[in-house]
Amino acid sequence: MFDKLKKRFGGQAAVRLHTASVAPSPTVDVTDASFAATVQTPRLVVVDFWAEWCQPCQVMSAYIGFLAKDYAEHVLVAALDVDENPETPQHFQVLGLPTLLFLHNGQEVDRIIGVVPYEEIKARVDHLLASL
Protein backbone atom coordinates (compact mmCIF):
# COMPACT_ATOMS: atom_id res chain seq x y z
CA MET A 1 0.00 0.00 0.00
CA PHE A 2 2.75 2.44 0.90
CA ASP A 3 4.47 1.81 -2.43
CA LYS A 4 1.28 2.76 -4.29
CA LEU A 5 0.89 5.95 -2.28
CA LYS A 6 4.53 6.81 -2.93
CA LYS A 7 4.01 6.37 -6.68
CA ARG A 8 0.83 8.44 -6.59
CA PHE A 9 2.63 11.34 -4.95
CA GLY A 10 5.62 11.44 -7.26
CA GLY A 11 7.37 8.15 -6.64
CA GLN A 12 10.36 9.65 -4.91
CA ALA A 13 11.63 8.34 -1.63
CA ALA A 14 12.19 10.84 1.13
CA VAL A 15 15.70 12.20 1.43
CA ARG A 16 17.52 10.53 4.29
CA LEU A 17 19.62 12.59 6.59
CA HIS A 18 21.64 9.60 7.80
CA THR A 19 22.96 6.52 6.12
CA ALA A 20 21.82 4.26 8.96
CA SER A 21 19.57 1.47 7.79
CA VAL A 22 15.86 2.02 8.23
CA ALA A 23 13.67 -0.90 9.26
CA PRO A 24 11.06 -1.92 6.69
CA SER A 25 7.46 -1.02 7.37
CA PRO A 26 5.97 -3.42 9.92
CA THR A 27 2.69 -3.39 7.94
CA VAL A 28 2.06 -6.46 5.78
CA ASP A 29 0.30 -6.05 2.43
CA VAL A 30 -2.15 -8.92 1.95
CA THR A 31 -4.15 -10.15 -1.03
CA ASP A 32 -7.15 -12.39 -1.47
CA ALA A 33 -4.68 -15.25 -1.99
CA SER A 34 -2.59 -14.58 1.13
CA PHE A 35 -5.27 -13.29 3.50
CA ALA A 36 -6.38 -16.56 5.16
CA ALA A 37 -2.86 -17.79 5.81
CA THR A 38 -1.79 -14.40 7.17
CA VAL A 39 -4.64 -13.97 9.66
CA GLN A 40 -4.66 -17.55 10.99
CA THR A 41 -2.60 -16.71 14.03
CA PRO A 42 -3.20 -16.51 17.77
CA ARG A 43 -1.89 -12.92 17.65
CA LEU A 44 -4.33 -10.06 17.27
CA VAL A 45 -4.46 -9.02 13.61
CA VAL A 46 -5.62 -5.60 12.44
CA VAL A 47 -6.46 -5.36 8.74
CA ASP A 48 -6.86 -2.01 7.01
CA PHE A 49 -9.27 -2.30 4.07
CA TRP A 50 -8.48 0.64 1.78
CA ALA A 51 -8.58 1.95 -1.79
CA GLU A 52 -6.31 4.37 -3.60
CA TRP A 53 -9.20 6.70 -4.50
CA CYS A 54 -10.42 6.91 -0.88
CA GLN A 55 -9.21 10.13 0.77
CA PRO A 56 -10.19 9.09 4.34
CA CYS A 57 -8.23 5.87 3.79
CA GLN A 58 -5.04 7.89 3.60
CA VAL A 59 -5.62 9.23 7.12
CA MET A 60 -6.35 5.77 8.50
CA SER A 61 -3.36 4.32 6.65
CA ALA A 62 -1.13 6.76 8.52
CA TYR A 63 -2.71 5.67 11.80
CA ILE A 64 -2.18 2.04 10.82
CA GLY A 65 1.50 2.75 10.24
CA PHE A 66 1.76 4.24 13.75
CA LEU A 67 -0.13 1.26 15.17
CA ALA A 68 2.20 -1.20 13.48
CA LYS A 69 5.21 0.49 15.04
CA ASP A 70 3.65 1.03 18.49
CA TYR A 71 2.38 -2.56 18.79
CA ALA A 72 4.97 -4.44 16.72
CA GLU A 73 5.55 -6.97 19.50
CA HIS A 74 1.88 -7.80 20.05
CA VAL A 75 -0.18 -7.14 16.91
CA LEU A 76 0.13 -8.11 13.27
CA VAL A 77 -0.96 -5.16 11.12
CA ALA A 78 -1.98 -5.75 7.51
CA ALA A 79 -3.43 -3.73 4.63
CA LEU A 80 -5.65 -4.94 1.78
CA ASP A 81 -6.44 -2.93 -1.37
CA VAL A 82 -10.13 -3.64 -1.99
CA ASP A 83 -9.99 -2.73 -5.69
CA GLU A 84 -7.34 -5.33 -6.43
CA ASN A 85 -8.72 -7.92 -3.98
CA PRO A 86 -12.53 -7.95 -4.04
CA GLU A 87 -13.14 -11.43 -2.58
CA THR A 88 -11.99 -10.81 0.99
CA PRO A 89 -13.99 -7.59 1.49
CA GLN A 90 -17.06 -9.36 0.11
CA HIS A 91 -16.53 -12.30 2.47
CA PHE A 92 -16.34 -9.97 5.49
CA GLN A 93 -19.13 -7.71 4.16
CA VAL A 94 -16.90 -4.64 4.07
CA LEU A 95 -19.28 -2.04 2.62
CA GLY A 96 -17.59 1.23 3.58
CA LEU A 97 -14.04 2.52 3.52
CA PRO A 98 -11.86 2.75 5.39
CA THR A 99 -12.65 -0.32 7.48
CA LEU A 100 -10.42 -1.88 10.10
CA LEU A 101 -11.06 -5.50 11.02
CA PHE A 102 -9.67 -6.92 14.23
CA LEU A 103 -9.15 -10.68 13.95
CA HIS A 104 -8.06 -13.40 16.32
CA ASN A 105 -7.39 -16.90 14.96
CA GLY A 106 -8.92 -15.75 11.68
CA GLN A 107 -12.22 -14.73 13.29
CA GLU A 108 -13.51 -11.16 13.45
CA VAL A 109 -13.60 -9.82 17.02
CA ASP A 110 -14.16 -6.11 16.32
CA ARG A 111 -14.53 -3.60 13.48
CA ILE A 112 -14.10 0.13 12.92
CA ILE A 113 -15.71 1.83 9.92
CA GLY A 114 -14.63 5.30 8.89
CA VAL A 115 -12.00 7.62 10.29
CA VAL A 116 -11.63 7.66 14.06
CA PRO A 117 -8.94 9.24 16.26
CA TYR A 118 -5.75 7.24 16.71
CA GLU A 119 -6.41 7.13 20.46
CA GLU A 120 -9.65 5.22 19.81
CA ILE A 121 -7.85 2.64 17.70
CA LYS A 122 -5.23 2.19 20.42
CA ALA A 123 -7.96 1.85 23.07
CA ARG A 124 -9.64 -0.91 21.04
CA VAL A 125 -6.35 -2.72 20.57
CA ASP A 126 -5.51 -2.44 24.28
CA HIS A 127 -8.96 -3.76 25.22
CA LEU A 128 -8.70 -6.69 22.81
CA LEU A 129 -5.17 -7.58 23.91
CA ALA A 130 -6.33 -7.62 27.54
CA SER A 131 -9.31 -9.84 26.74
CA LEU A 132 -7.71 -12.39 24.39
54 catalytic, yes or no? yes
Q: Which of 5, 54, 115, 129 is catalytic?
A: 54
Instruction: Write out the chain in H/E/C secondary structure.
Output: CHHHHHHHCCCCCCCCCCCCCCCCCCEEECCHHHHHHHHCCCCEEEEEEECCCCHHHHHHHHHHHHHHHHCCCCEEEEEEECCCCCHHHHHCCCCCCCEEEEEECCEEEEEEECCCCHHHHHHHHHHHHHHC
- Catalytically annotated residue among 1, 30, 46, 57: 57
Residue 60 CA to residue 97 CA, distance in Å, equals 10
- Provide the annotated active-site residues: 54, 57
